[in-house]
């Protein structure tokens, strides 16, 4: 599952985490795992933590000048600081969670993960522990550096595990600030309706809405995200976009309750 | 170089770092790198941070019961928390330092690193940045889990780079609390003398002293450490044990000044 940076940090305030929200999400994850036996990877975004140095040093653009190396160090530090808070809250809630730092276990090529050493993740899943990768700076063989989003990391892992029966991904849960994908921006438009299901059959129709929609994340390009989830859906991996700001929804999603967000599926 | 856990944390107090010492060491490292052009890996121990959970859950013994997984999570969290402080101080001093988390980029076998994905370390060195690996929990294919010491990590990297001209290790600097290896315990015995040089020729003689000496680290078994450094010395990699509690010594060691501790060398 992915915890969006926009719900675990305060977007308006640099280096400000939403500690209570993180603690509640950790409790919901633990409650679900007490009720049902399933493996889980919890990825999370960086929100307002790495955002400041990433903007200042234009880290996503690569190594563009001598200051870029300072940017790599500061983005990694900021992202890791937020990750410590998330992992500590998961441990506090009773989960055996462990950080997975992409900057130190992968290399990228033009902003996409080229290789990630996944054996530690495999072992943690075998131990029924929760690996916690997170949006991080990537060391990039073409651009020098890049920003690795949680989506990119979870997509890489999903594809890496596609043929691995032991760790095959059953579903991706994307936790954002609104109930799912809408026919318009729900903040601006009271008539915007939640789209319960996106499939290859209705994507063209939905795509028109998405172009003008803020969706779950104003910064990330919702259209691109939905298309990337649809790519996984075509391979048999469903995604579900839910509203994690509403208490109880994450637990319900983890327990498999239907119709609580937008499902992106094959049919 | 290795910063001992006993100098960067207060051994008597759990989860207490010596912030001023860490900041001073970071400044000395930066001062040396301003005066001379050299690549550097800074490893550090965990001291009183991971010590508490590592003892409670007997992490070094492996997965011995169901609570061991909680131990893996808590040792990783504690070690990573101290690492953030060290990396932040290095960044604050002007160095572009980046964490390397062994738990997430390596697997071990019976307490020794079996494989570590080193490409990110290579890239950081190419960028003239400082990779900062640290004593961590290891995921172990035989025992389930283990404790990876800074020595083990630096030894692995040294051997991995033995044939790599680009990143060949020139020297290992081990920063402890006393001036080097003594003929007895300098805390108890005013007559104990510093041994300036240990080589394959005088190791037998020195070995007799070591057996009864606390050396730089009461917990680690100085005899074993010196023997492991001597193994590297035979392959052409010198080690130097210095006293990092004395201001200026780390900078001098990095700049190559002679006779400031105990040198472990081939001849």
Structure tokens that stand for B21 in this block: 């010492």
Q: Which of A152, A171, A168, A167 is nearest to A264 (CA)?
A: A171
pLDDT for position A211: 60
Question: For B65, which residue in chain A has the nearest alpha carbon?
Answer: A127
Least confident of A118-132, A242-256, B223-237: B223-237
Q: Which of A63, A100, A107 sits opposite B104 (nearest CB)?
A: A100
ipTM value greater than 0.90: yes
**What is the distance in angstroms between the CA of the first residue and the CA of the last residue of chain A?**
21
pLDDT for position B211: 61
What is the spatial distance between Cα A45 and Cα A3, in angstroms, rounded to a whole number? Answer: 6
Question: Phi, psi (5° rounding) for residue B52?
Answer: -65, -60
A136-162 in b/e burial notation, b at 16+ Cβ within 10 A?
A: bbbbbeebbbbbbbbbbbbbbbbebbe
**DSSP 8-state secondary structure symbol assigned to residue B162:** T
The answer on pLDDT for B107 being more than 90 is: yes
Asked if A128 has any chain B CB less than 8 Å from its own CB, the reply is: yes
pLDDT for position A219: 40
pLDDT for position B227: 83
Cα–Cα distances (Å) from A49 to A10, A14, A68, in that order, read 9, 6, 18
Q: What is the mean pLDDT of residues A38-51?
A: 94
Instruction: Count CB neighbours of A171 within 10 A.
Output: 17
Of the two residues A248 and A186, the one the predictor is more confident about is A248
Asked if B128 has any chain A CB less than 8 Å from its own CB, the reply is: yes
Q: What is the mean pLDDT of residues B158-168?
A: 87
Long-range CB contacts (within 8 A, 24+) of B181-186: B181/B206, B181/B209, B181/B210, B181/B213, B181/B215, B181/B216, B181/B222, B181/B226, B181/B241, B181/B262, B182/B209, B182/B213, B182/B215, B183/B209, B183/B213, B184/B209, B184/B212, B184/B213, B185/B212, B185/B213, B185/B214
Strand, helix or coil for residue B136: strand
The answer on pLDDT for A100 being more than 70 is: yes
Instruction: Answer whether A33's CB lies under 8 Å from A73's CB.
Output: no
A 59-98 residues with CB < 8 A to B = 63, 69-70, 72-74, 76-77, 80-81, 84, 87-88, 91, 95-98
Strand, helix or coil for residue B37: coil
Q: What is the mean pLDDT of residues A49-59?
A: 94
pLDDT for position A27: 98
What is the spatial distance between Cα B48 and Cα B219, in angstroms, rounded to a whole number? Answer: 12
Mutant choice from A89, A108, A139 vs B, greatest count of B C-beta within 10 A? A139
Q: What is the mean pLDDT of residues A54-69?
A: 97
pLDDT for position A215: 41
* Residues of chain A contacting residue B63, judged by C-beta atoms under 8 Å apart: 127
pLDDT for position B109: 98
A104 and B99 within 8 Å at the Cβ level: the answer is: yes
Asked if B101 has any chain A CB less than 8 Å from its own CB, the reply is: yes
The answer on pLDDT for B219 being more than 50 is: no
The answer on pLDDT for B253 being more than 80 is: yes
Binned at pLDDT 50, 70 and 90, residue A19 comes out as very high
Mutant choice from A120, A140, A148 vs B, greatest count of B C-beta within 10 A? A120
pLDDT for position B217: 41
Q: What is the mean pLDDT of residues B48-73?
A: 96
The answer on pLDDT for A60 being more than 80 is: yes
**Whole-model pTM?**
0.94
B84 and A87 within 8 Å at the Cβ level: the answer is: no
* Residues of chain B contacting residue A115, judged by C-beta atoms under 8 Å apart: 119
Instruction: Answer whether A185's CB lies under 8 Å from A213's CB.
Output: yes
Asked if A160 has any chain B CB less than 8 Å from its own CB, the reply is: no
pLDDT for position A87: 98
* Residues of chain A contacting residue B77, judged by C-beta atoms under 8 Å apart: 84, 87-88, 91, 98-99
Determine the distance in angstroms separating the CA of B76 from the nearest CA of chain A, rounded to an integer: 7
pLDDT for position A214: 46
Question: For A92, which residue in chain B has the nearest alpha carbon?
Answer: B74
The pLDDT tens digits for A188-215 are 777 888 999 999 999 888 877 776 444 4
Instruction: Answer whether A76's CB lies under 8 Å from B123's CB.
Output: no
Question: For A107, which residue in chain B has the nearest alpha carbon?
Answer: B120
Cα–Cα distances (Å) from B209 to A16, A252, B186, B223, B266, in that order, read 54, 65, 12, 9, 20
């Amino acid at each position: 599952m992915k915890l969006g940076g926009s719900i675990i940090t305060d977007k308006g305030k640099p280096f400000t985490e939403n500690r209570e929200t993180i603690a509640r999400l950790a409790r919901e994850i633990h409650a679900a795992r007490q009720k049902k036996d399933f493996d889980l990877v919890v990825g999370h975004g960086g929100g307002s933590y790495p955002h400041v140095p990433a903007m200042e040093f234009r880290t996503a653009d690569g190594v563009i000048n001598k200051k870029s190396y300072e940017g790599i160090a500061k983005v990694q530090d900021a992202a890791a600081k937020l990750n410590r808070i998330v992992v500590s809250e998961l441990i506090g809630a009773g989960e055996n969670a462990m950080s997975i730092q992409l900057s130190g276990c992968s290399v990228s090529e033009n902003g996409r993960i080229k290789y990630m050493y996944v054996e530690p993740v495999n072992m943690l899943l075998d131990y029924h522990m929760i690996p916690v990768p997170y949006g991080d700076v990537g060391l990039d063989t073409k651009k020098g550096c890049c920003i690795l989003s949680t989506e990119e990391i979870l997509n890489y892992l999903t594809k890496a595990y596609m043929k691995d029966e032991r760790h095959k991904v059953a579903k991706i849960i994307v936790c954002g600030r609104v109930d799912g994908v809408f026919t318009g921006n729900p903040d601006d438009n009271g008539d915007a309706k939640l789209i319960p299901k996106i499939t290859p059959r209705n994507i063209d129709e939905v795509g028109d809405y998405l172009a003008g929609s803020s969706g779950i994340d104003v910064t990330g390009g919702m259209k691109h995200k939905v298309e990337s989830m649809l790519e996984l859906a075509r391979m048999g991996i469903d995604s579900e976009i839910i509203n994690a700001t509403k208490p109880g929804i994450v637990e319900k999603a983890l327990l498999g309750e239907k119709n609580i967000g937008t499902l992106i599926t094959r049919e």
